Amino acid sequence: MRFQFPAWLGLVCVCGLVSCGSNEEDPASGPTNISLDSPDYFPTNIAMPADNPLTEEGVQLGRRLFYEKKLSSDGTISCGSCHQQQKAFSDGKQFSFGVNGSIGEMNAMSLSNLHWQTKFFWNGRASSLEEQAVQPIEDPREMNLPIHEAVSRLQADAQYPSLFKNAFGSEEITAELIGKAIAQFERTLISANSKFDAWIRNEVELTPEEQLGLELFFTHPEPKLQLRGGNCSDCHLGFLTAGDPNGFTGFHNNGLDADENLPSGLMSVTENPFDKGKFKAPGLRNIAITAPYMHDGRFETLEEVLDHYNDHIQNSSTLDVLILEASNELPDGSNAVKLHLSEEEKKAIIAFLHTLTDQQFISNPKFSDPFN
What was the pLDDT predicted at 14? Answer: 36
User: What is the spatial distance between Cα 281 and Cα 122, in angstroms, rounded to a whole number?
Assistant: 8
Between CA 364 and CA 258 the distance in angstroms is: 42
Is 252 annotated in a binding site? The answer is: no
How far is Cα 155 from Cα 152, in angstroms, rounded to an integer?
5
20 annotated as a binding-site residue = no
Q: How far is CA 248 from the centre of its chain?
A: 15
Give pLDDT, residue 24: 41
Dist CA 266 CA 53 (whole Å): 30
Considering only CA atoms, which of 168, 175, 91, 105 is closest in space to residue 133?
A: 175
Domain 11-191+361-367 fold is: Cytochrome Bc1 Complex; Chain D, domain 2 (1.10.760)
CA distance 114 to 186: 7
* CA distances in angstroms from 285 to 119, 211, 355, listed in the order given: 17, 17, 9
Measure the CA–CA gap between 248 and 235, rounded to whole angstroms.
12
Residues of the chain with pLDDT under 70: 1-28, 245
- Integer angstrom CA distances of residue 58 from 142, 164, 171: 24, 8, 13
- pLDDT at 5 (0 to 100): 58
Q: Was 340 annotated as part of a binding site?
A: no
DSSP state of 112: -
Q: What is the DSSP string of 175-237?
A: HHHHHHHHHHHHHT-----SHHHHHHTTS----HHHHHHHHHHT---BGGGTB----GGGTSB
Domain with CATH 1.10.760.10 in the chain: 11-191+361-367, 195-356
User: Does the annotation flag 79 for ligand binding?
Assistant: yes
Q: Which CATH superfamily is domain 195-356 in?
A: Cytochrome c-like domain (1.10.760.10)
Residue 312 among known ligand-binding residues:
no
Short-list 343, 282, 352, CA closest to 307: 343
Degrees, nearest 5: CA angle 109-320-275: 70
